């Protein structure tokens, strides 16, 4: 008899999560999570939970950014406070703190150099390792 069809006997792999993680923003010189950004973080958290339910363990890097006002050293520290604040909020929602790492880019990766739009630079982005 022919060998059994081993491919059809294996359970199907869970569908890969399509990530659509939103960016959060901060007020000038602040690292506090604003109410609207808390809602955004809830949406990101829901995506993490969906991945975990599908037996995927995402490794997420929370990246903190700043505008170019202030010294580079200060902005690196502020970017890290922002990243840590976002991580702490997600952990407070119930996420596993071990799935997150944090990094600050300070003012290194500006979205805009237009001073009228500097608020776009004051942000955290979320990257999932594939």
Tell me the CA end-to-end span of the chain in Å, nearest whole number: 41
Residue 34 has pLDDT above 80, yes or no: yes
The answer to whether residue 5 scores a pLDDT higher than 60 is no
What pLDDT shows up at residue 18?
82
What's the predicted TM-score (pTM) here?
0.86
Number of alpha carbons in the 13 Å side-chain half-sphere of residue 35: 0
The CA distances from residue 82 to 13, 17, 95, 98, 110, in Å, are 36, 26, 17, 18, 15
Q: Give the pLDDT confidence score for residue 11 in this predicted structure.
A: 59
Would the pLDDT of 36 be above 60?
Answer: yes
User: Residue 93 has what pLDDT?
Assistant: 97
Helix (H) or strand (E) holding 126, with range, is strand 123-128
pLDDT tens figures, 64-80: 999 999 999 999 999 99
State the average pLDDT over residues 24-44. Answer: 97
């Amino acid at each position: 008899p022919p060998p059994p069809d081993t491919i059809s006997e294996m359970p199907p792999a869970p569908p890969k999560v399509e990530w659509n993680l939103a960016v959060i923003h901060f007020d000038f010189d602040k690292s506090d999570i604003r109410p609207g950004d808390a809602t955004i973080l809830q949406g990101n958290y829901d995506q993490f939970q969906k991945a975990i339910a599908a037996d995927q363990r995402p490794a997420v890097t929370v990246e903190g950014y700043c505008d170019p006002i202030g010294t580079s050293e200060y902005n690196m520290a502020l970017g890290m406070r922002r990243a840590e604040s976002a991580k702490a909020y997600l952990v407070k929602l119930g996420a596993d703190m071990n799935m997150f790492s944090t990094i600050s880019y300070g003012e290194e990766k500006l979205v805009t150099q237009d001073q009228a739009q500097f608020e776009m630079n004051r942000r955290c982005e979320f990257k999932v390792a594939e």
